[in-house]
Structure 1
């Protein structure tokens, strides 16, 4: 059994729950393994990532970080050489979550900071607890950003606000995050898991092939030219139009009945 992360499957939704607020090496590796497992599981049609208690994820376990730093015999010979922990653990985890071919819903049950914000922003849809505190945190411990936070913030809130949030890492509430577009829904804390799971279940019952195409377009739409986006849309819609889910959607519409999607 995992010590820091659990997986529970129901109705096509794989729920991954982080049991500790801080990201230790063990939790990063366990979460990455579970994300890779659900990515390879064809029965999974949506993923829900959440935490427990009063925190979703507050980023790096600073106690573990201090121990690792003190255990280092000598400083790195090349200060420009990336830290192995970033290259081998953080980056693969963010890429694995971002690269899921099925929709990812994040249930922000509580506080979210640093790399935890990076994990949250990999979600396609985010449901947050009312009053939850969010912060970039990095500059507060004299670090630059990691886990894709800078890139995601620029895309979500624009360069000016991203700079403010990173340079002046003051906490803000989920209600403000909703106004800025960083989260999609804010609900009472006791309703976060139920609301996020219901959203994931709705997506799991939907047209998976179309969702996959939409995720692909959204991943590059902000940086591609209009011509490139149009060409990509044409290819992806052609594929989606040949899928069983599209035929079912058309037949259901004409028959005036709810569609039943199979994910193919």
Structure 2
């Protein structure tokens, strides 16, 4: 077997750390998984525990009963620990960015993996993973806080990045730009004046401040009002599956990637 592509990460994980992203995947990409023939989902770099891969499997099976999930880890010891939890439709194997699976995956989730790489490597691995996808497939790559209460992820097709999603519990931030430390590696060093992502987060903070009176009705109402304000100057999707009140009420906001693309 060829040496896996990539480097061993810290492996930090925990129950429900990726729940916010799993919920988004099920809602936004559930139709894709249901329509695919033998849908395969890869959880790349699941860490020191099988937990988040099992949670992904359980959640996706509710919306796509035929989905198969494969957890991939570059550390042989972590694979050995996860193996006893295999079941029909769920397996674990050794590997890295080369994705050692029997067929192109319909969806790849890679969370808290690229954070330890440089920006140039992050772009390169985005391209590598996206090109491994089945036609019409999706790569969801992002970063979350240790407890999962703040997260940002990008959605990519085989042609490149398509969306970026900001997600947080309403008690997990003072202002929206607090999420900046969860930006993808391709953007985190671009959060400076003159860059699009900095402009967006600055405008989000202003929208949050302007709508402070809505806080009397709760932070959810303030978030909804801030998103409405923001949508007047940024291309915030207003309808499902990516946008609309049903998603915003969860503490989510999705933008087309082009709105923040540093290139």
Higher helix share: 1
TM-score, normalised via structure 2 length: 0.29
Rg (Cα) greater in structure: 1
Between 1 and 2, higher relative CO (CA 8 Å, sep ≥ 6) is seen in: 1
